[in-house]
Amino acid sequence: MSSSLVELAAGRHVILCVGPGGVGKTTTSAALALAAAESGRRVVVLTIDPARRLADALGVVVGNTPSRVDLGSEVKGELWAVMLDQSSTLDDLIKRIAPTPATADRLLGNVIYRQMSRALAGTLEYTAIEKLYDLRERHGFDLVIVDTPPSKNVVDFIEAPEWLLRFLDERIFKWFTLLGGGDKGGVARLVLQRTARAVGDVLGKVFGDAFVNDFNAFVRDLEGMTAELRKRAASIQLLLRSTESGFVVVTTPDPFVLADAVFLRNELGKRALSFTGFVVNRANVGSGVESPEAVAKLVENVIGDALAKKLAATALEMNARAREDAAAVNRLRRDARWEGYVGVVPREVEEIHDLAALRALARHL
Amino acid sequence: MTESMAAVLAGKRLVLVTGKGGVGKSTCAAAIAVAAARGGKRVLLVELGARPVAGELLDGVPPDHEPTIIAAARFPSLWACRLDERRALQEYLLETLKLKGLVKLATENRVLARLWQAAPSVDEMSILNALWRFETERDPGGRPRFDLIVVDMPSTGHALSMLGVPRGALAMIRGSSLAARARDIDAMLHDTNRTAICIVTLPEELPVNEAVQLADRLQRELELSSTHVLINGVAADVFDEGERATIERLAEEDSTARRLFVAARRRMSMVSQQARRIGELKERLQARFHHIAWTRARGVGLIDSIADALTRA
Ligand SMILES: Nc1ncnc2c1ncn2[C@@H]1O[C@H](COP(=O)(O)OP(=O)(O)OP(=O)(O)O)[C@@H](O)[C@H]1O
Ligand SMILES: Nc1ncnc2c1ncn2[C@@H]1O[C@H](COP(=O)(O)OP(=O)(O)OP(=O)(O)O)[C@@H](O)[C@H]1O
Ligand SMILES: [Mg+2]
Ligand SMILES: [Mg+2]
């Protein structure tokens, strides 16, 4: 391995830590941000649902303004942290771009909007990306490190801008404007309108007229904002595809998790998103003593036979797990056909929630 | 004598297995299904994820949208399926609207297809509808098609939104032809004789917190009780108190064997850390708990060993 992850991040302004649930995305993002700050950069880490004590260590509370983490005066760089407020980021955006405050209020109160902004797959992911854009464009950080939310499917996060662009497809909006409009315009429009009405009838039958009315109101209010939303989604996509950005896939050595990580890396490739490397977190560490005989010899005359047997069994089990994990890392390289960066981080006994533990973890990156 | 976890769950019709990402939901769901199938029950294991795992876990063929027996030699009464959202939607509309043409228009029209993809909760509703159908299906003799349906649910947040969909939908689609079915599904989910929600967790800080929050939100927001908790990945406690003291002492002393004691101490800290987490969990959550060992078994061996553990009282 030639360079460290911190060195690889040096040429970039956005690093996104993606990966399956629970592997250590939040922890890795924080550790990498700390290391980058200590290397002299002005860094912000966008965390999502960190463990409470990690949030305390970083001094973040849910909210949309970054707060500075005190690293002491010897450190040249700056570390800032912000915790994504899933419920308000999208609302804030709507308020910012709505043509009038009344439109914003109406939209935020719409049943469909409320249901959608909470439940719809994609919304949460998009919210995180939107926040990243905001941090880079408005707050001017040199490096934004992004933790990503646990998704239903591993690709949800990287698909979010596409998803929004698809949703905002003007054709949907055209149809629904027709549905609500009166009979005017040429023959072509009338034909379209007739089809739209048929579709409207279907929707009415399926969902009930109340839903169709709510939906119409939703579409009407959103329509004035689609241009701006589309523009933002497109710029975000551009930013994620540029050489400024890099994706780090975090995984554990577990075979199922690893398979997801390889899949994710291939999906990044398909979308022309730049891949920086893997972090294999929570790798088991061996005992350092290889055979039962070696154990017996080491503890001879030190402890009784019964304990010596148990120690040997424990040591060998630890070794076996460590070997499996090392093999998994090799398999990862092979399956992903990746010769670049793979960081291996050992599984610590204690959970990681202070700066000292993050710093220790960052040494493996 | 208390009944085993496997026996309690096998007494239901529908077992929903959820929990934080990566804690072992798929593994435990498969083990619950296997334990019940060994007792002779006709069991259906339902997968929802984009990447199906039941085939691998049970050493069988990957399941399809339609229930099939995927590992006939070993598990002759275990069916599995992987629900496809598109097909589940078509079935759902067909069952509730009963007009083929309408359904064709609704699912094949390009604009509508987009709308389905974007419309809130349609996928979730279609999936729940399929579960409801499996639960209510009877053969010509009036016998249930499946005795037990075990569902490998999405993780916490998505499970919560999915289980809330029938009620959310009832608020939006009042008076439509879908409302009646939404009510039936909601009733099934709330019938504790039929449905059990099983939360899987690990003895670690975040999974424990998430399990507690999940149970709490299920109860508060949806009035659903989740009284079965599987604590997965529990490391065995091999040393007794005297041995622990010896190891602690020797791990501090300078000797050629020191690294061995340091390694053993690492393992001991893990066990005591886990014990603390388990203590917290049991204090914060009222439920029936079951411990599952952290083993090195893989594939069907892992499933078998967990099924054994669940069958022990
Ligand atoms: N190398 C490690 N050794 C020990 N514990 C670790 C390690 N890395 C992370 N952890 C712990 O594992 C837990 C999960 O880590 P983390 O929250 O970073 O995962 P995540 O991928 O962000 O999860 P989610 O998908 O739920 O957001 C935390 O309690 C963390 O302290
Ligand atoms: N008791 C156990 N001992 C050892 N390994 C286990 C145990 N339970 C689960 N595993 C392993 O942990 C990994 C994750 O398990 P599983 O896929 O069941 O989790 P999941 O909760 O379904 O994950 P996801 O949220 O990604 O769907 C698998 O590789 C599985 O083999
Ligand atoms: Mg996280
Ligand atoms: Mg799973």
Does residue A152 carry a pLDDT above 80? no
Indicate the residue of B53, B110, B257 with minimum beta-carbon distance to A298.
B257
- Does A314 sit within 8 Å of B172, measured CB to CB? no
Residue A69 lies in a domain: yes
- In this structure, the answer to whether residues A86 and A137 fall within a common structural domain is yes
pLDDT confidence of B170, banded at 50, 70, 90? Answer: confident
Domain ranges of chain B: 5-237+286-311
Distance from CA of B3 to the nearest CA of A (A): 32
Taking the CA of residue A255 as reference, the ligand 2 atom at the shortest distance is 29
pLDDT computed for residue B235 by the predictor: 92
Q: Which of B194, B267, B216 is nearest to B237 (CA)?
A: B267
In a domain, A307, yes or no: no
* Greatest mean pLDDT range, A80-89, A313-322, B143-152, B293-302: B143-152
What's the gap in Å between the CA of A219 and the closest CA on chain B? 12
**pLDDT of res. A1:** 47
Q: Is residue A256 part of a domain?
A: yes
CA geometry: angle A97, A101, A104, nearest 5 deg: 65
Distance in angstroms (rounded) separating the CA atoms of residues B188 and B131 = 10
Give the 3-state secondary structure of residue A20: coil
Closest atom of ligand 1 to B206 CA is: 29
pLDDT in tens, A69-78: 988 888 889 9
Q: What is the pLDDT of residue A11?
A: 85
Q: d(Cα A143, Cα A162) in Å, to the nearest integer?
A: 24
Mean pLDDT over each residue of chain A, to the nearest integer: 83
Examine the pLDDT at A214 and tell me if it is beyond 90.
Answer: no
Final residue before a domain boundary, out of A199, A225, A251: A225
Closest Cα in chain B, distance from residue A142 (Å): 31
Alpha-carbon distance values, B36 to A10, B44, B196 (Å)? 55, 10, 14
Residue A303 placed within a domain? no
Are B296 and A317 in contact (CB < 8 Å)?
Answer: yes
Residue A53 lies in a domain: yes
Write the residue in B111, B120, B257 that is nearest to A112 by C-beta: B120
pLDDT value of residue B175: 66
Answer for the pair B198, B290: CB distance below 8 angstroms, yes or no.
no
- Which position has the higher pLDDT, A128 or A69? A69
Q: What is the mean pLDDT of residues A57-83?
A: 84
Distance CA B54, CA B51 (A): 10
Mutate which of B16, B17, B25, B27 for ligand 2 pocket (most atoms within 8 A of beta carbon): B27
Best B260, B261, B270, B303 member to test A by mutation, with max A CBs in 10 Å, is: B260
pLDDT digits (tens, 9 = 90+) for B10-63: 889 999 999 998 899 999 999 999 999 998 899 999 999 777 889 989 999 999
Q: List the single residue in B21, B117, B161 with the smallest CB-CB distance to A150.
A: B21
Highest mean pLDDT (candidates A85-99, B157-171, B287-301): B287-301
Residue B4 contacts residue B308 (beta carbons within 8 Å): no
Which residue among A179, A194, A225 closes a domain?
A: A225
**DSSP-derived secondary structure letter, A62:** B
How far, in Å, CA of B107 to CA of B260, rounded? Answer: 64
Do A172 and A158 share a domain, yes or no?
Answer: no
Interface A–B counts its CB contacts (< 8 A) at 176
**pLDDT at position A154 over 70:** no
E strand residue ranges, chain A: 14-18, 42-47, 67-69, 78-83, 143-147, 245-251, 275-283, 341-346
CB contacts of A175 in chain B (<8 Å) are 111
Asked whether residue A327 is domain-assigned, the answer is: no
What's the ipTM?
0.81
Same domain, A219 and A153: no
Alpha carbon distance B167, A98 (integer Å): 30
Q: Which atom of ligand 1 is nearest to the CA of A149?
A: 27
Q: Please name the member of A20, A124, A310 whose beta carbon is closest to the beta carbon of B22.
A: A20
Same domain? For A18 and A152 the reply is: yes
Rounded to 10°, the helix A187-207/B100-108 angle is 120
User: A22 C-alpha to center of ligand 1: Å?
Assistant: 6
B164 three-state secondary structure: helix
| CA pseudo-torsion sign A153, A154, A156, A159 | negative
* Predicted pLDDT at B2: 73
Q: Which of A53, A124, A207 to mutate to test the interface with B (most CBs of B within 10 A)?
A: A207
With a cut of 60, say whether residue A253 has pLDDT above it.
yes
Q: Is the pLDDT of residue A30 over 60?
A: yes
Instruction: With a cut of 90, say whether residue A111 has pLDDT above it.
Output: no
From A185, A208, A225, give the residue that closes a domain: A225
Q: Which residues of B touch A51 (CB under 8 A)?
A: 205-206, 209
Q: In angstroms, rounded to a whole number, what is the distance separating the alpha carbons of residues B148 and B36?
A: 8
Note whether A162 and A172 are same-domain residues: no
What integer is the mean pLDDT of A275-299? 88
More confident of the two residues A187 and A127: A127
**Do A158 and A181 share a domain, yes or no?**
no
A68: helix, strand or coil: strand
Task: Tell me if A288 and B260 make a contact (CB, 8 A cut-off).
Answer: yes
Q: What is the CATH number of domain B5-237+286-311?
A: 3.40.50.300
The number of domains in chain A is: 2
More confident site: A199 or A43: A43
Nearest to A226 by CA among A154, A158, A265, A169: A169
pLDDT in tens, B248-298: 998 888 877 888 888 899 889 999 999 999 999 999 999 999 999 998 888
Best residue in A111, A205, A316, A324 for a mutation probing chain B (most B CBs within 10 Å): A205
> Is the residue at A90 inside a domain?
yes
Q: Which of A311, A348, A352 to mutate to test the interface with B (most CBs of B within 10 A)?
A: A311
Residues A18 and A83 in one domain: yes
Do residues A60 and A125 share a domain?
Answer: yes
Pairing of β A78-83 and β A42-47:
parallel
The token pair at B71 is 């590992």
Q: Which residues line ligand 2 (CB under 6 A)?
A: A 20-21, 254-256; B 21-27, 155, 232-233, 292, 294-295, 302
pLDDT at A91: 83
Statement to judge: residues A149 and A239 lie in one domain = yes
Q: What is the pLDDT of residue B117?
A: 63
pLDDT of residue A76: 87
Q: Is ligand 1 within 6 A of the CB of residue A55? A: no
Residues A158 and A208 in one domain: no
> What residues of A are in contact with residue B175 (Cβ under 8 Å)?
208-210
**Residue A200 structural domain:** 168-225
Closest ligand 1 atom to Cα of A30: 18
Same domain, A79 and A189: no
Predicted local distance difference test score (pLDDT) of residue A290: 83
Closest residue on chain A to B160 (Cα): A119
Task: Give the CATH number of the domain where residue A80 resides.
Answer: 3.40.50.300
Among A169-183, A270-284, B177-191, B212-226, the range scoring the smallest mean pLDDT is A169-183
Say yes or no for a CB contact (<8 Å) between A208 and B173: yes
In three state form, how does the secondary structure of B97-143 look?
HCCHHHHHHHHHCHHHHHHHHHCCCHHHHHHHHHHHHHHHCECCCCC
Is residue A43 domain-resident? yes
Of ligand 2's listed atoms, the one at least distance from the Cα of A260 is 26
Task: Tell me how far the alpha carbon of residue A217 lies from the centroid of ligand 4, in angstroms.
Answer: 38
**Are residues A190 and A55 part of one domain?**
no
Determine the residue of A352, A354, A355 to mutate for testing ligand 1's pocket, defined as the one with the most ligand atoms within 8 A of the Cβ atom.
A352
Distance of CA A293 to the CA centre of its chain: 47
Cβ contact B83:B129 at 8 Å: no
